[in-house]
C-alpha cells in the first residue's frame, strides 16, 4: 500500500506528501549534523511517531470506556548515539488532563501505550523509558 511520496528539496530538507490527504511534512537535518534544524529531523519524527501512536491507541482503547483522554500531554526526549549515529534512548512523559486513581485504568493506559505498533517495532537496542504521571 502506497502511503507517501517524498522529494529531496536540497539543503538537507525532505518533503513528504501523505497520499490520502495531500498533507505535507518536512524534515531537516538537525543542527548537530550539518542541518538547519528548521523542522523535525527524521529521528525526531520517529520519536514523535511513537508518542503519537501511543496516544492514538489510548484513544481507540478508551472509546468505549467512561474515560476521555482529550487534553493528555506528552513530552518526548531523544538521546542519540554517535558511532553509529542512531537513536540510543527515547523518554516519553505522559501528563493526563485529570488525576487518575483507578488502578485498572492506569494499567490499561500503560499497557496500551507500551503495546502500540510503533513501540513494538522498535529495536531492543533502543532504550525506551515511558513515564506516566497520573497525578
3-28 pLDDT tens trace: 999 999 999 999 999 999 999 999 99
What is the edge-to-edge ordering of all strands in the sheet holding 127-133?
73-82, 85-95, 127-133
Binning the chain into helix, strand and coil, the percentages to the nearest 5 are: 30, 35, 35
pLDDT at 110: 98
pTM here? 0.93
CA distance 84 to 93: 26
Task: State pLDDT tens for residues 25-81.
Answer: 999 999 989 999 999 999 999 999 999 999 999 999 999 998 999 999 999 999 999
pLDDT at 135: 84
Residue 129's contacts (CB-CB under 8 Å, 6 or more residues apart) are: 89, 90, 91, 92
Q: What number does CATH give the domain 41-133?
A: 3.30.300.20
Task: State pLDDT tens for residues 97-124.
Answer: 989 999 999 999 999 999 999 999 999 9
Question: Which residues sit opposite 116 in a β-bridge?
Answer: none
Is 40 in contact with 48 (CB distance < 8 Å)? Answer: yes
Domain residue extents for the chain: 1-39, 41-133
pLDDT at 13: 96
Question: Among 75, 81, 22, which residue's Cα sits nearest to residue 48?
Answer: 75
pLDDT at 66: 86
Amino acid at each position: 500500500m502506497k502511503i507517501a511520496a517524498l522529494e529531496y528539496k536540497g539543503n538537507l530538507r525532505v518533503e513528504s506528501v501523505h497520499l490520502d490527504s495531500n498533507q505535507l511534512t518536512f524534515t531537516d537535518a538537525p543542527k548537530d549534523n550539518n542541518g538547519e534544524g528548521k523542522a523535525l529531523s527524521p529521528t525526531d519524527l520517529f520519536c514523535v511517531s511513537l508518542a503519537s501512536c501511543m496516544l492514538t491507541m489510548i484513544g481507540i482503547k478508551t472509546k468505549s470506556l467512561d474515560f476521555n483522554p482529550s487534553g493528555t500531554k506528552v513530552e518526548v526526549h531523544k538521546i542519540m548515539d554517535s558511532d553509529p549515529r542512531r537513536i540510543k534512548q527515547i523518554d516519553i512523559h505522559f501528563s493526563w488532563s485529570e488525576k487518575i486513581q483507578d488502578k485498572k485504568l492506569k494499567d490499561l493506559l500503560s499497557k496500551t501505550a507500551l503495546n502500540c505498533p510503533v513501540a513494538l517495532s522498535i529495536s531492543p537496542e533502543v532504550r525506551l523509558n515511558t513515564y506516566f504521571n497520573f497525578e
